[in-house]
Structure formats: C-alpha cells, structure tokens
Amino acid sequence: MQFGVSTFVWVSPFDTAAFDLAYKVRDMGYDILEVAVEQQELIDWGKLRELVRETGLKVTISGAFGAERDISSDDPRIREQGLRYITDCIRLAEKMESPVFCGPVYSAVGKTRIVSDEEKKRERDWCVENLRKAARVAAEAGVTIGLEPLNRFESDMVNTAQQAISIVREVSDPHLKIALDTFHCNIEEKSIPAAIRQVGDLLCHVQANESDRGTPGTGHLDWPGIKEALEDIGYQGALVVETFGAPSKELARAACIWRPLANSPDELALEGLRFYKQMFS
C-alpha cells in the first residue's frame, strides 16, 4: 500500500510558491503528493514534474468543483466550463504520471436543493453525457477518473456508494471508476467496509480521512474493518490524507471547515502517516 497526502493539508490554493511542500512530504516518509488543482495557472507544471522526480514522489491529481465547474448545471456555458476543467485536469494527470483524477466530477460542491424529479433527471442526463466525453479523454491519456460521493451537506446528487455505482454503470466506460472518502462515507453509509465491498473493483482511489476530518486514527472509524474490506477486494491503489489546514474562504464555506482540525498541519500529516503505517503496512 502506498500512502499520500494532499496539498490541501497545508495550502489553498496550491501554487508554485508552495513547492517546498514536496521536500517536506518526502522527508515525512510519504510516497505520494496529491495535488489539488484549484487554479491550474498558478502552478508551474514542468517545474513540479522535475521536482517530484527529484524527490522520488509520485503524484495523484484531485479536483476542486466550484459553481462555475458544474457539468450538470442548467447553464450550457457552465457545463462547458466544467467539462473543460475536467479535461484540463486529466491532461495534467497524464503530464504528472498520475494514474487517477478524482473528485466530485458530477456537480458543484455546495449544490444542495430539493428539485423536481424532472429536473433531477435533466441534471443527471447532462452529467452522464459530459462524463462520457470526459472518459474518452481519460482513455486517450491513460488516466482513470475517480467519481467521489460527497455527504448530503455538500451535494444533493451523489451521496452514497450505490449512487456512484449507478452513474458509473450508466456511463459504462472503464476509465470512469469510483473514489471513496471515508469522511463522507462515515456520514452516509451504514457500514464503510460494506460500501467498499459493494464498490469492489470499481474502486480506484481512497482518501482515508477520519470521522471529523482530523488526524487519522484519532476518531471513531472502524479502521480494522476498512483494512479488511480493502484486502478482500484486492485494492492496490493509494491511501491519501485529504483535509484542510488553511482553506480559502470559498473552500471553507463549501466543506464547512470552521475550526482547526489539528494542532498543526505538520502534526496531522506526521501522525496520520504513522497511523497509516501501523494500520495498513
């Protein structure tokens, strides 16, 4: 099992000025730096590729989906922007040799409403149409899109593993799979191990976060059960800490982060990795 940590733990948005994080993450003992792409133009991608090769780190790419990147929006301009963003991130994943691009690709974070069945169907149809287009790009790039369910307070479209499976099966492309974040699963699933087994070989990425999004191992998740379920399905992907040490105002609002989640981002990352190695190695 390889262990990773997201740039979100320290900085938002991640940019070229924060590249020293690669050395910190390497020195802590992580295998993977997960780069959250909030504003791709702030990052010198060529320089970052050289840096991760120098440090020996691998990279995974995750997305940030604000209101202007919603492929299920009723505004065709926004749907087009959302698809362009996903396409750009897939190409960045290809450039950085990331096997996956993950996130709530289906909608905007914080989009939570009660709408009619007809409107829900329209939005789902737009989502499926655009994910099929994105999956074709992913196939060309050799990248897998990981569709991530979010909890009910952050999305009204995909909250559970079963809802994610339904969309992935409707799109029906091997380059669209599922990414699970145990923080969200803890809110929405009856059993996280059962959800992992349900997803099975569609699982391409795991953000192994604690019940309160704090340091892994300090909350109430059934970590032994999670480990057993991952072993049962033969999961070979990464386990990544994704939490928010210094969120932007927009990100804090979307993810409802109102207080520090640990004494410091460094402590959270170090203690989280120590727990990962103890539990999953």
Judge whether 108 and 69 are in contact, CB under 8 Å.
yes
Q: Hey, is 134 helix, strand or coil?
A: helix
Q: Using CA of residue 61, residue 242, residue 108, residue 147, what is the dihedral sign? A: positive
Q: Could you tell me which of 99, 103, 75 has the C-alpha nearest to residue 238?
A: 99
The burial class, CB within 10 Å (0-12 / 13-18 / 19+), for 121 is: exposed
Judge whether 15 and 42 are in contact, CB under 8 Å.
yes
Structure tokens at 44: 């010198």
Q: How far apart are CA 126 and CA 4, in angstroms?
A: 33
Catalytic residues: 148, 242
Q: Which residues of 52-83 are buried (b: 16+ CB within 10 A; e: fewer)?
A: beebebbbbbbbbbbbebbbbbeeeebbebbb
Q: How far apart are CA 174 and CA 177, in angstroms?
A: 7
